Structure 1
Amino acid sequence: MWTRARRVILIYLFVFGTWFVVEPLTVHACSCAEPPNIKDQLNQKTAIFKGKVLSLTKPVIGKIWSSADPVKAQFEVKTVWKGELSSQTTVYTALSSASCGYEGFEVNEEYIVFASGDPERLETGLCEGTMTLASADEELKALGGGYEPSNITIPQADNRSVMIVLFLVISLTLFILLVISVRRRRR
């Protein structure tokens, strides 16, 4: 006869054994409602423009990463319908559509971008309405003519530059405090 301990062990082996055999289902965390109409987009978004992707900078995927890590897309802006944009602008999106990121950006391809957020850090995503220019006939008709971007290119500091400057300022401050401390001790 089976002892109670053997039955418990067999049950655990069965449960944990099937755990490794059964393949998990893919779950998508992002779901979008119907995209807003163009009138609503013009009221809600910070910037709406047509542009060509010049470069894409994806985050380094290491041991620890998130589907929400930002992808930086640098655009050559061709036509603007909303916002004060220079001839080049940067838009951020999440790395994966699981975090509502727009995964369709390709270098040298043109898009209509619907972006929200701070004008200094525009963001778009899967549910914002951003699309390739080739699939945007209705949106182009509804938006009308638009206007040209300003000729001023606004330099944007990346996080690395900010961190270097911050490190130098902190180091210099600590050095000055150390010199003052040494001088006071000598007196």
Structure 2
Amino acid sequence: MWKRTVMILLSYLILFGMWFVIEPVTVNACSCAELPSIEEQLERKTAIFTGKILSVTKPVQGKIWSSADPVKVLFEVKTVWKGELGSQTTVHTALSSKSCGYEGFEVNKEYVVFAYGDPDRLETGRCEGNKTLASAQEELKALGAGYEPSKIIPQEIPLEVSSINMEADNGYITIVFVSVIILTTFILLIIFLRVRRR
């Protein structure tokens, strides 16, 4: 009888432990067609501009997350070729290139950005032609002279750069896992001692 109880408890313990160990499977689903010409970009995109990144706000990854989770990138806009942009604008992209997100954005670097979507929620991605300013000389030449952004700063208060705090998450998971192991061991010990007394 006690052997059966021990086996059931060990099975639950193994299943519970696997919940924290198994990594999510990633699927590579993004493929880009040939990049359109600058003329086509000017026609299709909602906004085209150069800007310096002030902050990158990533979602906090918990047990359930997606490569398509949104990342907010706040730019200090320098030059505009299309769109009515203020001196700061936010562009959204997916967390991972697997969901066609643009992973190359870094704080304090300047980029040429090609964004689509609603003017109040600009989006961009891996397949849109974004480049660092230093590597976009051909694009800048083809775009020609741009114009300055308006001096209005959006009312939205930019969030500070947030990173994925996996260390704190892992610490919590470790504490829970160790607690369950100790509790299970204690229960098994009590069962074992009771069976031996009989």
Runs ≥4 residues deviating over 6 A? none
In structure 2, the CA distance between the partners of 1:157 and 1:120, relative to structure 1 (3 Å rule), is farther
> CA shift at 1:154, angstroms?
1.8
Partner-residue secondary structure (3-state), 1:75: strand
Corresponding residue for 1:71? 71
> CA shift at 1:26, angstroms?
7.0
Corresponding residue for 1:22? none
Q: Distance in 2 between matches of 1:65 and 1:106?
A: 22
Q: Compute the TM-score of the two structures, normalised by the length of structure 2.
A: 0.66
Q: Distance in 2 between matches of 1:73 and 1:156?
A: 13
The structure whose RCO (Cα within 8 Å, separation 6+) is larger is: 2
Corresponding residue for 2:117? 117
> CA shift at 1:134, angstroms?
1.2
In structure 2, the CA distance between the partners of 1:26 and 1:59, relative to structure 1 (3 Å rule), is closer
Q: What RMSD, in angstroms, separates the aligned Cα atoms of the two structures?
A: 1.7
Q: Distance in 2 between matches of 1:26 and 1:90?
A: 27
Q: Distance in 2 between matches of 1:55 and 1:157?
A: 12
Corresponding residue for 2:148? 148
Letter matched to residue 149 of structure 1: P
State how 1:32-47 maps to structure 2 within 5 Å: 32-47=32-47
Mapped pair 1:89 → 2:92: no
Letter matched to residue 111 of structure 1: Y
> CA shift at 1:145, angstroms?
1.0
Q: Distance in 1 between matches of 2:95 and 2:27?
A: 16
> CA shift at 1:91, angstroms?
0.2
Letter matched to residue 127 of structure 1: C
In structure 2, the CA distance between the partners of 1:156 and 1:26, relative to structure 1 (3 Å rule), is closer
Corresponding residue for 1:98? 98
Q: Distance in 2 between matches of 1:155 and 1:47?
A: 19
Corresponding residue for 1:137? 137
Partner-residue secondary structure (3-state), 1:41: helix
> CA shift at 1:157, angstroms?
6.7
What do the CA deviations read for 1:19-40 (whole angstroms, capped 9, x no partner)?
xxxxxx9752100011100000
Corresponding residue for 2:62? 62
> CA shift at 1:156, angstroms?
2.5
Partner-residue secondary structure (3-state), 1:42: helix
What do the CA deviations read for 1:121-156 (whole angstroms, capped 9, x no partner)?
000000011111111010000000100000011212
Q: Percent identity?
A: 75
